[in-house]
Structure 1
């Protein structure tokens, strides 16, 4: 791994020199575009993509970035509270989704209960848009199983020279919550600097039954982005950001977060050479570190056992890509990338009661959480796009990943259970697709992708910890085979216009089928017993195993009708059906049928919409995962925005206007809480929100 980074640094230095030697002497103010954005509307875009714009017209006080996914068709969220929220797409979640910032930067969580997923390390006001590749239909952005999610941070207008900025603030009634953001940017022809600072203070919310849900948290974030145009055709950029979470309550987890500190550094470089065989060279390197402490000090279990777990995660990565253009009709992307995830840390338990008896003096125990483990993935890829005509593009790609994993400080019982030699896996993935513009108003896409995902660190190395939605202890399995997703999909998009060329209808649809091999799930092992609190139920732990056969199928549909010029009616729906053939049940965390109906208007300085959300019941469940039948529900949201004066935006909203009491099927259950039994977390009741932003 060190060799890779040394080589990448040498390549960066060589590329800068190469670009400068090939640069003309003229002065220019042109700023080239870095590979932060995947979907740009060009013919070189990946197949079967979607983009969700994230701006003041659609956002109303999201708790974290994962809240932005609630408005994207096909997405759901996995909720453990207001802070630890993970996106789920078509029933794929966690490392099954390749989630990254700005075209490749990653920050992996330190907590085995995912109290600090990647979505918590950046504030949602910084996100300009969310790009989605709906399956394993590209090999350029790392190993991909269920799809790519690229969170694109806001960029300044590089031609708008001088000092500019914005400040914003917001308030939520349900939880008495406050958010604030300040940003300053200084743009010059040769360089640009952007800084931002954010603060969020969310209280416990009330559900539709006026029951207070423990969900408060505070977070402070800041970031600095500096870009320098080395020449007319090459740019280098550095992005540093830190996030500090404090006093985070997790209703659906056994402990709370005392602090969660993350640091992320990303370096990007790009050289463009128009008209040359080697059309462009881009490189990226990044580093992130997460320091996390969780305790049960506020939980009822602390009366018997006080527990504190200090864990950390280090993520290193890099990428080098060449864009080769042999002719007008060919675009070839080839390169290599690397990702290393290392975690360590332990838990200290102060046992006060043992076997029902109060001890005269508490006993201290130290447990290994991550057992000083790491996973390294080095990938080599090549993807070619060929234009059969001005309207049809064929894409083919292949990728090889070498995945090395090792546990360096194993617990005695884990070492006795497995052969813990360093393990090397060889994964091969690929894709082929076609995209054709049947007419200027209708396009068709079809794709096959083979996505491969090696087991994550929880699935490999966790040792008798509660990491699931149920109360079972889980045991990792370092010998797991890599999951394989053979996904087939067709999709189309279209518009209909009137005789004056004004769009009257916008529609799109996707239909997919995934044949899953070696799917990883936790299965009860009756030959083993609990390690911690052995008299508690359930007595037998779960061990991660591979399934022989499973599948998913589903669709997303959307239609938007425009009335007059600025008014619209919109409907969208998403459905996924999953089957675990080995256990004759659904795969876990499969969302129910979800439909959204909206009417709205959008003018230059005024916009408003009413959205009716219909979530069906979910009876297709995974009983082995601890899931239960979930009732359907409906909620109604109102949003209104206005620009009262130049550069000022005011937004107001009423969310869950009918004060519905409900819980989503993917919500975790209350865990280790004084006033709650183990039932799914209920979502917020009626909530009034106001948002104000000023640009200068």
Structure 2
């Protein structure tokens, strides 16, 4: 009999700095870079094209910082705290998240997810471990520990790694710029439906010569009910802590050492197992020096060593189901270590030119073991962690901005990478399963983990890929008008990732490992922004060709034979938005649409979200304000059942929906603020099109449902303190 999950208090680490004594030496790697436009510069304030300073964002509204760039606060005080990095991204236009339970969803941008979307934490990588994507990279990011998230859409940057054709997501912490002895901080406490409780604390202390930053967060919730009152398996708990020590001997030098640790657990509706450990250990070093010479404005170095240790089982948070494909108590332990770095120099040979030169490198090593619970004959704790993959990449880049005149500029860049993956447990032979794919050992139903140990017939093999990338973009500011236009053409190449070559839905044979080709995306992006005193609007559109797009073919339930293949595809879509701020009233609205076609198979490209519109009407008076949010999605009939990506598979057509949310905030004094809200006010029963299929679990919404439904009516209350 299955039992409901209740998570107790988490064990907090004695201190995050303890990580410093448990690390091996970092391997020196290359690159860190400045953005190509002033809007992305690493300074305490952002600057608009006209030179006016933009205020720091403390609200849910997103900010367009430049062509294809948006930024927003990760933990705005007028919203409940996001459970993980994907929960922040779902609030932005163009993003969708595959729901798997109450947390750890898998994000995608413009219908492109997985490694097509680069996820960086303080410009370092942390990779997921689970072959069925229980722990995407965003599962290890606690938004409350960060200041903002910056998104660069499309293949329009070369300074943040290779293969991120959909875009780059950078979770960033503010860097203190103190001139005198200072101590400041903020804290919040949130309670809500489903016994949701969250708390976070951020402290900064220092002076002109250095600083300390300490952050901690804890978030937990029980299962939620959908709009029909049916329980969805979704309970979770996680905690995170971070400590940073900075040294600023002068105004031009900064060195910062950071250490972090976190853990948690999550009950899943999409899988036959739950995540009972999401442990992260992170260590990073950043150093920068500005004004080195009249022609050399900045030098940056960053190093990181990030580790993820994930455990999943079917007995800690549930009882094994004797009638399922996994009738006995089983567990799997998977680890991934990502270490690397970046080095970049920003050169300004003249007032019209800015050039960024640099490189980056990283190495990821993946291990696994599986077996029974503690005390059993096959206790997985007694087994060694077996290495199954080693992934490495090293690249060089150059990106430049040429100011043609006061209102026109060209931005462009080139990049070259040498990517390598070595797999240690490939099957030497494969057999045709009769359906056009290869019947592979080690595949299973979505969300299940194959518990078989490596066989004696496995072999090791290495593949190498040379990847190229580049872009050129024209930007202009209309004369005597607050209008900005841009048009850019970008190209990006991506090596097949761990999940496409060795994951639960890959055919892990030598032939498939060596023959799956890298993706090659060529995309045109155009757009415009109009910004007035009270009104601003923006529009962006894209159209691209993806040669050798990697699509996953999923077998029917209970059947083996999942595999990946290359197809040629076309993609198109865009986003548009407006923001009006009156004396008391305000209106924000954003529209997004993504379209894709599989030209090789003459069918829609899988995992494409429908047309979506989100609007927010606000009223403020003195120290209080109220907002009403209306989110609408159209029905989606363009699908490719049986196909998908590492993020998930298409489940058929989906219905549209409209959801209303209300929230209010009041500022009690200079230090205290209260916020409250109700999400899904009308208690609608709905599910996102890009989603995961639920499994049958006693007492929960089961296999009779096509998708995992979103939460029903949910209330929350939050108190914020600034000191």
TM range (shorter): 0.7 to 0.9
Question: Contact 1:481–1:518 (CA<8 Å) still a contact in 2?
Answer: yes
Equivalences for residues 161-172 of structure 1 within 5 A? 161-172=181-192
CA deviation string 1:96-133 (max 9, x = no partner): 1011123x111111212222222222322223222111
Equivalences for residues 59-208 of structure 1 within 5 A? 59-102=79-122, 104-143=123-162, 144-156=164-176, 158-159=178-179, 161-173=181-193, 175-208=194-227
CA deviation string 1:231-284 (max 9, x = no partner): 3311101111111113x1011122101211101111111111165222211011
CA deviation string 1:632-669 (max 9, x = no partner): 11100111111112211111111000000111111211
TM-score, normalised to structure 1, is 0.85
Partner of residue 681 from structure 2, selected from 635, 640, 657: 657
Whether 1:481 and 2:517 are equivalent positions in the alignment is yes
State the distance in 2 between where 1:270 and 1:692 align.
37
**Structure 1 residue 299 displacement after superposition:** 5.0
Question: Contact 2:199–2:217 (CA<8 Å) still a contact in 1?
Answer: yes
**Structure 1 residue 188 displacement after superposition:** 1.2
State the distance in 2 between where 1:474 and 1:176 align.
43
Whether 1:269 and 2:287 are equivalent positions in the alignment is yes
**Structure 1 residue 587 displacement after superposition:** 1.8
Distance 1:603 1:582, change over 3 A: farther
Corresponding position of 1:345? 368
Distance 1:215 1:668, change over 3 A: same
Corresponding position of 1:287? 305
Question: Contact 1:317–1:340 (CA<8 Å) still a contact in 2?
Answer: yes
Corresponding position of 2:664? 640
Question: Contact 1:299–1:673 (CA<8 Å) still a contact in 2?
Answer: no
Unaligned runs of 5+ in 1: 13-32, 351-360, 468-472, 497-502, 526-535
Corresponding position of 1:443? 484
Distance 1:197 1:184, change over 3 A: same
Distance 1:40 1:290, change over 3 A: farther
Question: Contact 1:475–1:544 (CA<8 Å) still a contact in 2?
Answer: no
Corresponding position of 1:628? 652
Corresponding position of 2:603? 585
Question: Contact 2:271–2:695 (CA<8 Å) still a contact in 1?
Answer: yes
Equivalences for residues 609-620 of structure 1 within 5 A? 609-620=627-638
CA deviation string 1:356-415 (max 9, x = no partner): xxxxx9999999998521110101001111000111110121100000110134466679
Bigger drift between 228-237 and 681-690 goes to 228-237
State the distance in 1 between where 2:120 and 2:622 align.
32
Partner of residue 545 from structure 1, selected from 565, 579, 592: 565
State the distance in 2 between where 1:371 and 1:672 align.
33
Whether 1:573 and 2:591 are equivalent positions in the alignment is yes
Question: Contact 1:78–1:85 (CA<8 Å) still a contact in 2?
Answer: yes
- SS, match of residue 273 in structure 1: strand
Whether 1:600 and 2:627 are equivalent positions in the alignment is no
Corresponding position of 1:426? 466
State the distance in 2 between where 1:553 and 1:643 align.
43
State the distance in 1 between where 2:674 and 2:664 align.
8
Count of matched residue positions in the alignment of Structure 1 and Structure 2: 634
Corresponding position of 1:308? 331
TM-score, normalised to structure 2, is 0.82
State the distance in 1 between where 2:633 and 2:158 align.
34
Corresponding position of 2:500? 459
Whether 1:394 and 2:429 are equivalent positions in the alignment is no
Corresponding position of 1:677? 703
Corresponding position of 1:528? none
**Structure 1 residue 39 displacement after superposition:** 7.1
State the distance in 2 between where 1:641 and 1:77 align.
27
**Structure 1 residue 197 displacement after superposition:** 1.6
CA deviation string 1:192-213 (max 9, x = no partner): 0011121112111111111111
**Structure 1 residue 55 displacement after superposition:** 4.4
Distance 1:179 1:6, change over 3 A: closer
**Structure 1 residue 543 displacement after superposition:** 1.0
State the distance in 2 between where 1:606 and 1:56 align.
16
Question: Contact 2:483–2:531 (CA<8 Å) still a contact in 1?
Answer: yes
Unaligned runs of 5+ in 2: 1-24, 33-39, 52-64, 430-440, 442-454, 644-649
Corresponding position of 1:24? none
State the distance in 2 between where 1:562 and 1:574 align.
22
CA deviation string 1:129-153 (max 9, x = no partner): 2211111101111112111111122
Distance 1:58 1:261, change over 3 A: same
Partner of residue 536 from structure 2, selected from 506, 510, 531: 506
**Structure 1 residue 597 displacement after superposition:** 2.0
Question: Contact 2:145–2:217 (CA<8 Å) still a contact in 1?
Answer: no
Equivalences for residues 207-222 of structure 1 within 5 A? 207-222=226-241
- SS, match of residue 511 in structure 1: strand
Distance 1:77 1:323, change over 3 A: same
Whether 1:224 and 2:243 are equivalent positions in the alignment is yes
